[in-house]
Structure formats: structure tokens, C-alpha cells
Chain A
Amino acid sequence: MYQFSGKLKTFSLALILVGLVGIGYGFYSAPKTVEEAKEVIAQQASHGDSHATSHEEVSVDGHKEESHGENHASVDADHSDAHAEHVLHQLKNKPWSAIYVALFFFLGTTLLVLAFYAIQRVAQAGWSILLFRVMEAITANLVPTSIVMVIIVASAVMHWNHMFPWMAEGVFDPTSPNYDPIVDGKSWWINVPGWAIRSIAYLAIWNAYRWFIRKNSIKEDTANDGGKTYKLSYNASVGFIFLFMITETMMSWDWIMGLDPHWFSTLFGWYVLSSLLVSALTVIALVTIYLRSKGALPGVNDSHIHDLAKYMFGFSIFWTYLWFSQFMLIWYADIPEETTYFAMRFNEYNFPFLAMVVMNFVFPVLLLLNSDFKSVPWFIVIGGVAILFGHYIDIFVMVMPGTVGAQWAFGIPEISAILFFLGVFIYATFSSFAKAGSVPIGNPFLEESKHYHYYNIEHRGEGSGDHH
């Protein structure tokens, strides 16, 4: 059985601590008043920073800004105050958004590990059984991230931040200067109680399956009941995949698309899905490689690694396909109410927006096309790190323009949030992995997985003992 080493435990706790300190600093350093925000604006202007001016241009043709309650037609004096208040909201949102991006990345990735695991069960895969305990361990991260998500939901509902523009005061009130008829037209879906209830429901459904399947999987080890437990897990997984398809789509509307409540895209749910799926496969591969190097995964050989790398490769292309489909169709038709979304990203997030395509597509394709490379651990680690960063940026570019607009930065709050959730992830994953046997000995396909050998793979890695 695997032992969660004290060193790794200390490391993960240190990450959590450093992350918390950095997050605290982020909140502390965010401006509290309009005056402070004005100082920031003045500073940006004196730096010759183009943010402030280009931001103006965007807000003229990009009507998403209206949802924050500005009236751009107002006289100049008012306008500078309104602008300062707007910037203040964005600056106040910064530490929140930093947490939110990292949270969504880790929560979503963990969720997709769970979905991939369910798919492996339903597909009666023969190769991946030896990786089941790795996937189960990773999904342990679903509980802490869900708890943080509940806090974030509560914080939004309590108006502690301005991340969701449609939650601002007076948006649904026709007598208010903040009234937004477009959002008001969607109030049947976009409303605080509905949003909060749905959010909690998604989390409840996912966690319920995770709790059940983990319990049943351990039970399978000793069940010996003629496949009854196995069958139950199978049926639960079918049910989960059904619910997952629905909740994932709705979750992406509620949690991400709702950040830009004037914008819409039918593909969005699946686009988010593909981004999280690649990340999930990469995380499975990296954790597997780490655990195998520690000798904790007997029987896992280079062919298993090769398969994971193939998935990383294939779904990187799939992500690009969906990214391009969404982008190209909106670019091609150029309908103003949709194009603002990408105009904003091109003007203010140019570098991350384009860099992520390189990291998520060009890099993995070049690195992982060769069959031999797909079973070389350090190749996969390099490719995997690029993929994970690329998809973090993907989430970043999905979230930030709606919450902090041109005021974005990648600094202490953002890095700290990543470190915090990374620490949580490591702690949750490895302490969970240490709690059960690393081989699911009751699974009817276990022998296939032990004998698994992809035909043109030469096994060289450690821990590939018994593939003969």
C-alpha cells in the first residue's frame, strides 16, 4: 500500500499556506475606494500604459460594459467618476477572479477525471483498470473544491464581489439607472435564487456519484458476489454520464458564460468540456507517472502511459477543433453582439489568447505525434505541463475579460490561487490514494489491464514488470 510521505504532505501544506498568504495579500492590496481607483488610473496613464485608453475604445463598441451599470452617454465629469467606479469594481474583482479561475480549473479538471473514469467503466475498457485507483484518488479533490465553490457562490450572492455583472443592484429594476433590459429579458434563467440552487445541485450530483463509486469500488475488492457490485457501479456510471452531459452544459452557462451576460454561444458548454477533458487526461498521466516512479503502481507499464499520452494528443486536437469552430464561425459572420466577445479578447488579452493556442495545440501535436515519444515519461511531463498551463490560460481568458476587463494581470493573487489549489489537490489526491489498495483486485477486467501491451511499444520504463 502506498504511504503518503511526510515530505509530500509538508510540501502540499506549505503550498496551501503560501497560497493563502498570497490570496490574503491580493485582497489587502486591492483598492477600497473610488479615490484609490483613480490613483491607479492616473498611475496607468503616467506609465503610458495603453490599458486605460484602449479600454475606452472597447467599451464604446463593446456593449458588455453596460451591464456594469455605466451610462456612457453621460457628461464628461460624470463619466470620469463613473469610469473610476467601474475600474474600482474591476480592481476589487481581481483577487476574487484570481481564485475563481484557479478554482474552476481545478474543480473542472477533477470533475472531468470523474467523468473519464465513469466512461472507462461504461466502455468496459480493459487497459485502464490499473489506473482506476489513481483516478479515484484524484477525484477526492472534488470535495474541497466543491466546498470552495459553495463559498464563492455564497460570496457572489451576498454581493461581496462584482464578478457576475447581472447580480449588480438595479439590473432588473426598470426605474434604476443600472437597468439592463437585455439581462432582464433573460431573468427567467439568470436570477440569483435559480443560479444558486442550480450551482448547488450540480455540485451535489457530482459529489454524490463520486462518493458512491469510490465506496463501491473499494467494496468490489472483497465483494466476491458474482459481479453484483461491479454491475451496480456500471449502472451508476451510466446514470452519471447522462446527468453529467446535462449538468456540465448548464454549469458552463451559469458559471462562465454568465460572466458576460450579453454574449452567447451554443457551442460553449462543449468547448469548456473539451478544455477540462484535456486537462483531466493530463493530470491522470502526470499523477500516474509520479506514482509509478515511486513504485506505487505495480503492473502499470509503458503501454498504459502510451494510451494516456494518445488521449492527451487526441483531445488536444479536439479542443482546438472546438476552439476554432467557435472562433471562426463568430469571426466569419461578424454579428456585432457576438463579435464583442472576441474583440475584447483580441484587444486586451492578445498575448494569452494566442499563446494558449500554441500551448494547447501546436506544442502537444509536435511533441506527442511520434509513437515512441508517447511512452517516454519526461516527454509527457513537458507536454503535460504546457497543456495544463495552456488550459489554465484558456479559463483565464474565459473569465477575466468579464470580471476585471482591461485591469488584468498575472501576479501574486493569481499565482497564489494556483499554489493554494495545487496544494489542496496534492493533499487530497495522495492522502486518498494511500487509503486503499493501489490495484482494484475485484474488477473483472483486471487481468486484461495487467496483460495490456500495445503492439508496437517497447517497454523500458520502471515498474513495467509483468507484461510478459
Chain B
Amino acid sequence: MSHYEAPIREPLVLGDKSYHDITEDIAKPIEGVANKNWYIAFYISLAATLWGFGCIFYTIGTGIGVWGLNKNIGWAWDITNFVWWVGIGHAGTLISAVLLLFRQKWRMAINRSAEAMTIFAVFQAGLFPLIHMGRPWNGYWVLPMPNQFGSLWVNFNSPLLWDVFAISTYLSVSLVFWWTGLLPDFAMIRDRAVKPFQKKIYALLSFGWSGRAKDWQRFEEVSLVLAGLATPLVLSVHTIVSMDFATSINPGWHSTIFPPYFVAGAIFSGFAMVQTLLGIMRKVTNLEDYITRMHIEYMNIVIILTGGIVAVAYATEFFIAWYTGSPYENYTYLSVGAATGPYAWAFWSLIIFNIITPQLLWIKKFRRSFIITFIISIAINIGMWFERFDIIAIVLSKGHLPSTWWRFEPTFVDVGIFVGTIGFFFVLFLLYARTFPVIAQAEVKTILKSSGEFYKKRREQGIPTKPAINVANVAGTTDKSNKE
């Protein structure tokens, strides 16, 4: 990779940092003790989690009828939340894999947390396919295992089965990718640890990483191969999720644009969630020199782009629904019927939160503002929840037969489980932020000298950033320039 960097590029690491400073800054939250705010946040999240699990056990114990579903709308909050959580997870892989393939150095400060977010979000998503089953204890029947029913097999034609493979593969690969990247960082914590127990734990987690040249060489190649595999994976996972709907014959669901459009929406919502989390995290962990205004701006640009793609897809859906000439397409989630029907509030929430609000980010002042970014990111999270809710509930509420038209009202159990997953997500994320290196220090150290503010300034002023060594004097050979 080139060591030259154009002067007009903004620095990625602010302040006069040395390698040691980076280590110190990143190790600090792990080596210190949690403050009161952390405990407050943690207990609130834990309470929500417990409440959510209570609702889950109540559902399984009593029956799925405690939810607001009815015989026409068999999917509503359960699958909405599932798709929402899977979508959020996608930004993590996008940041760590796609941005790696595109050699975006700014990803280095955010990839660790984005991947953590992926994994915790996929945990939440993974709950829903299980708990929305009528007989979850038979859930293992989805696996093609030899059995005593004459080797009764699964049918590989169902996208719900593809979901099983997609989500489980996605979780496994993301986990491996994340953990591989963590090895040098865990080793760093291990080497700094003073308490024997802590040292033991991090020694276990870091798999004996010693950072030899050969290890680094393999490490880089593995990262690249995994990024190359994770990119088609991330596209295919949300594609398969979209096919839960698109393979059906329901007007509004049966649409060929769903695969790429769901993926774009996933990146859109995932980045919004990264903004929400990092907006807080950079502040409370004092990592403002690493997660800078510029990182926030770049993520906002990705949000504008993917939001634009999603908007084009909405327009296409709206247009083609009309263009088909099919009267049934008149009550799809993006149609005139939906805009004026009983779910108009859901339709317009989608338009306002997903299309209109993010357009504010075209203004440079807004996309570099932490507070406005935070507000817009929350709006997008809400908007993208509505997108999935609209696709699922509005379409199901008015099917082909007028005698099947019905409405959906969630019960407290529907809401409780959703709140529970949000709580569970934050429990995991809060624990992560206290025990894991939240920034990949090994990666950030590779860009310090090319993209650090201190070094960039010195280069601009023409001051050498390393001492000139006269090679001739050292090795006794002919003089070579030591310049880059």
C-alpha cells in the first residue's frame, strides 16, 4: 500500500498521538472501573431484557395467541423486528468487509464496534425465528439431520429454511472475522494486565498471539479473504431475508427489486445504528480523537447514498405497482391505497423518517454536527422499522380476497418482546464496551503516520518525521536516499 497521502485528505487520528497514546486510550475503559452512568444504563437495559424474556416465556407457555396476530396477518411485529435487527447487523459487516475491500482507512476506528453491533443485533434477530414458532420445541426439525422418521428431510425450497442457513452462517462468519481481528488487541490487554485473573482471561482470549512477521502476514491475508467472503455473504443474507416476501405471490411482496433494495435498506439502517451508538460511545469513552467529526461525516455520506438508493427503490415500487395495471397492486405498502388507507400514518412515517429527514444531511453543517446526526440516526432507525412493518402488515391487511381484510393491533407481549430485545442488545453492548478494546488499535497504528494529524502537519511544514539515517555509514554500501 502506498505511503504517500494527498495533503487534502483530512487526518484520521487527531492530536499529537504516539503509538503508546493509542494503546493507553483504548485500554483505559477496560482497565478502569465503571462509573455510575454505566450502571444506570446497564440496569435499565437488564430490566428491559428480563421483561422481554418474561414475555417470551409467557408466549411459549401460553401460546402464540397472546400476540396480536390474527388468521390473516400471521406475521407482524415478530418478523418486522427480525428483519429490522438483521438489517442493523449488516452495517457492521459492511464496515469491516466492504470498506476493507475499498481500502477505506477511516473504517479502522469504527469497525470493531460496528462488528460487535452486528453480532449483538444478529443475536436479537435470531430469537424471533425461534419464538414466533407455534411449537418452538420442534425447532430443530428445520435442520437436515438423519432421523428415526425414515430420515424425514426438510424441503429446501422454502426461503424460511434458507434463512436458517443464511443467519447461522452469517453469525458464524461474522464472529470468526471479529475474533480474528481481536487477537492482537486482546494480546495488548493481556500484556498490560496487572491483575493475574485479568491476565489469565485475556491470555485465553488472545490465543497466544505474539505478533511475529509471519503471523501478521497470515493475519492480513485471512482478513482479506474473509472480507471477500463476507461481502457476498452480507448481500446474500439480506437477500434471502427479502425472499421470505419476494418469492410469495402477495401483491406488494412479490417484487424482484426486494433483494438489492433490502440490502440497501439494511446498510442504511445499520449505519444509522452505528451513528447512534458511536455518537454516545466516543463521548463516554473519551475516544473523540479517533472517532472524529470526519468519521461521522463519512458515515452520513454513506447514509445519504444508501438512503438515495432506497428512495429510488420506493419510487420504483410505487411506479411499477401502478404500471402493472393490476388492481391488487393498489394496496401494497407503497401505493396510493396505502398512502390514503387506514395505515396512512405508517406509510407517511416511512416517507418522513426515511426519505425526507435524511435529506438534511446534504447540508455539510448538519452532517458534521454530532447532535443533528444523532437525531437523524434515531429517525432512520424508526423509519426503517416502519418500512418493514409496512411491507409486512399493510400488505397482509388487504390481500386478494376482501373477506380476508383485517387489521393488526399489537398486544403488550408483542411490544414487550421488542423492548426486551433492545434491552438485551444494550446489555451485551455495554458489557462489550467495558471489556473489549472498542477500537482496533493494531489497525489504527498502521495509519497513524500516514493519516495522523501530527504527522500530516509536519509533512506539510516540510519537517521530517523520522531521523535521516545515512545508509552508507551504517552498512558501508553506496549511499541511498532514505526518503519515501
Interfacial residues, chain A to chain B (CB-CB below 8 A): 124, 126, 182, 185-186, 189, 227, 242, 245-246, 249, 253, 264-270, 314, 317, 321-322, 325-326, 329-330, 332-333, 335, 337, 444-445, 447-448, 451-455
Contact with A along B76-90 (1 / 0, CB 8 A): 000000000000000
Given the interface pairs A267-B256, A321-B259, A447-B4, the reply to whether A335 lies near B312 with Cβ below 8 Å is: no
CA distance A185 to B20 in the complex (A): 70
Are A333 and B6 in contact, CB atoms less than 8 angstroms apart?
no
CA distance A170 to B7 in the complex (A): 65
Are B239 and A325 in contact, CB atoms less than 8 angstroms apart?
yes
By beta carbon, the residue of chain B nearest A317 is: B232
Are A333 and B232 in contact, CB atoms less than 8 angstroms apart?
no
Which positions 202-230 of chain B face chain A at CB distance < 8 Å? 220
Contacts of B249 in A (CB 8 A): 333, 335
Q: Separation in Å of the A8 CB from the closest CB of chain B?
A: 34
Choose, from B279-287, B315-323, B423-431, the stretch at the interface. Answer: B315-323
Interfacial residues, chain B to chain A (CB-CB below 8 A): 1-9, 101, 220, 232, 235-236, 239, 243, 246-249, 254-260, 308-309, 312-313, 316-317, 319-320, 323-326
Q: Separation in Å of the B255 CB from the closest CB of chain A?
A: 5
CA distance A385 to B171 in the complex (A): 39
Contacts of B258 in A (CB 8 A): 266, 329
Are A246 and B312 in contact, CB atoms less than 8 angstroms apart?
yes
Are B2 and A322 in contact, CB atoms less than 8 angstroms apart?
no
By beta carbon, the residue of chain B nearest A307 is: B103
By beta carbon, the residue of chain B nearest A185 is: B325
Are B324 and A333 in contact, CB atoms less than 8 angstroms apart?
no
Are B1 and A455 in contact, CB atoms less than 8 angstroms apart?
yes
Are B247 and A264 in contact, CB atoms less than 8 angstroms apart?
no
6 tightest A-B contacts by CB?
A: A266-B257, A267-B256, A451-B4, A325-B259, A185-B325, A267-B257
Q: Which of A266, A268, A337, A451 contacts B2 (CB 8 A)?
A: A451
CA distance A253 to B322 in the complex (A): 13
Are A335 and B2 in contact, CB atoms less than 8 angstroms apart?
no
Given the interface pairs A245-B309, A249-B312, the reply to whether A447 lies near B6 with Cβ below 8 Å is: yes
Are B308 and A245 in contact, CB atoms less than 8 angstroms apart?
yes
Are A332 and B4 in contact, CB atoms less than 8 angstroms apart?
no
Contacts of B326 in A (CB 8 A): 337
Given the interface pairs A317-B232, A333-B248, the reply to whether A453 lies near B6 with Cβ below 8 Å is: no
Are B243 and A329 in contact, CB atoms less than 8 angstroms apart?
yes
CA distance A185 to B2 in the complex (A): 58
Given the interface pairs A126-B6, A444-B8, the reply to whether A264 lies near B320 with Cβ below 8 Å is: yes
Q: Separation in Å of the A205 CB from the closest CB of chain B?
A: 16
Interface core residue of A124, A227, A269 (most chain B CB under 10 Å)? A269
Are A189 and B323 in contact, CB atoms less than 8 angstroms apart?
yes
Contacts of B3 in A (CB 8 A): 451
Given the interface pairs A266-B317, A321-B235, the reply to whether A329 lies near B260 with Cβ below 8 Å is: no
- Chain A binding site: helix, strand, loop or mixed by DSSP? helix
CA distance A189 to B316 in the complex (A): 13
Are A453 and B323 in contact, CB atoms less than 8 angstroms apart?
no
By beta carbon, the residue of chain B nearest A371 is: B224
Contacts of B239 in A (CB 8 A): 321, 325
Contacts of B316 in A (CB 8 A): 249, 266, 269
By beta carbon, the residue of chain A nearest B157 is: A332
Contacts of B323 in A (CB 8 A): 186, 189, 253, 264
Q: Separation in Å of the B239 CB from the closest CB of chain A?
A: 7
Given the interface pairs A126-B2, A448-B4, A455-B1, the reply to whether A333 lies near B257 with Cβ below 8 Å is: no
Contacts of B320 in A (CB 8 A): 264-266
CA distance A174 to B9 in the complex (A): 64
By beta carbon, the residue of chain B nearest A188 is: B322
Q: Which of A326, A337, A445 contacts B6 (CB 8 A)?
A: A445
CA distance A326 to B242 in the complex (A): 13
By beta carbon, the residue of chain A nearest B312 is: A245
CA distance A20 to B136 in the complex (A): 69
CA distance A460 to B63 in the complex (A): 68
Are A333 and B247 in contact, CB atoms less than 8 angstroms apart?
yes
Q: List 5 A-B contacts (CB under 8 A).
A: A182-B325, A185-B325, A267-B256, A329-B254, A329-B256
Contacts of B325 in A (CB 8 A): 182, 185-186
CA distance A185 to B323 in the complex (A): 8
Beyond A265-B320, A329-B255, 12 extra complex contacts between A and B, CB < 8 Å:
A189-B319, A227-B8, A266-B316, A266-B320, A267-B259, A314-B101, A321-B260, A337-B324, A447-B4, A448-B5, A451-B2, A455-B220
By beta carbon, the residue of chain B nearest A271 is: B256
Q: Which of A124, A270, A317 contacts B260 (CB 8 A)?
A: A270
Q: Separation in Å of the A249 CB from the closest CB of chain B?
A: 6
Are B255 and A266 in contact, CB atoms less than 8 angstroms apart?
yes
Contacts of B2 in A (CB 8 A): 126, 448, 451-453
Are A264 and B260 in contact, CB atoms less than 8 angstroms apart?
no
CA distance A306 to B137 in the complex (A): 52
Q: Separation in Å of the A172 CB from the closest CB of chain B?
A: 14
Given the interface pairs A444-B6, A447-B6, the reply to whether A325 lies near B256 with Cβ below 8 Å is: yes
Are A266 and B256 in contact, CB atoms less than 8 angstroms apart?
yes
Are B4 and A267 in contact, CB atoms less than 8 angstroms apart?
no
Are A333 and B235 in contact, CB atoms less than 8 angstroms apart?
no
Are B317 and A332 in contact, CB atoms less than 8 angstroms apart?
no
